[in-house]
Structure 1
């Protein structure tokens, strides 16, 4: 619905363009189409449409942290970003999997030592799944050993922060992830 609204057309028109291949999209397992903001902007420019908003959707961060006090510290730090990101929290690995499907974050802040499924297994699972393989992961650990850092980076995390860390370190890692050129463009959903 949001993508159709940005272009000033009905959702049915948007679906027709997507089905014809005129507007790049991909379908989610939940039955929604996703449109990259850059694709919408290009499509609008090519057709002389001026209604498209230039603002991408906010960063969505899934925080996977079992320590409630540390999770609160991180949420407060994230609140200082402009624009403020949408944040959901999970306390263990299996809950993270459920929230991942529903929330569809752009970035995961992932504690390594979690009850149940640990951060290493979560990161490896994300990299094996075509739907999540490009998802940004920043690991966090209080067990900052060379072996753990190497292991999580090999599993696909882009960085590993040693707890406790400063707010500036966290925000620097997040903004670095947000500004990387290979990061997928934000997506807008419209029902199929």
Structure 2
């Protein structure tokens, strides 16, 4: 959820932010052992007593499962769990980046959800690409002391040429120097250029 860090920093007014754990309704996965670190530096340590964990390299077939002791540092994996309550080899569909180890415990960063995407036909836009496109348009707004607070998107296929609709909530810190319609149009063009070639 890295896209929310600037918003949290803006509204917290410098207060410390702590994220204690990485968990889901299935079970607890890991703990943040450095509670006062910056949100962008959070690393979770897997708690192997909460479930049986195996990892699947991001670009591998389902037969290439890796035990916690055999992971490679600086690689991305998908988490697969078997819980005490009966889930067996459940794919969590989160992408994790392995940072290293704390004692013998594996440490990782949450990167993104796997397969969260926009798609009309053969084009595929995942969450990371959409976030990058938003960041690219945000650069055009900096000189106007304006930033993207929040965004959302959906696929509109009501017309023959389907397209993505992306809403951005902007916060202009100086209303006298707010972005003009031309600048907002440039942001739309930049967004279009940032999406993949198949969609364009």
Q: Note whether the superposition's TM-score is higher than 0.5.
A: no
Specify which structure has the higher proportion of helix.
1
User: Higher Cα Rg: structure 1 or 2?
Assistant: 2
Specify which structure has the higher proportion of strand.
2
Instruction: Give me the TM-score of the superposition, normalised by structure 2.
Output: 0.25
Instruction: Give me the TM-score of the superposition, normalised by structure 1.
Output: 0.26
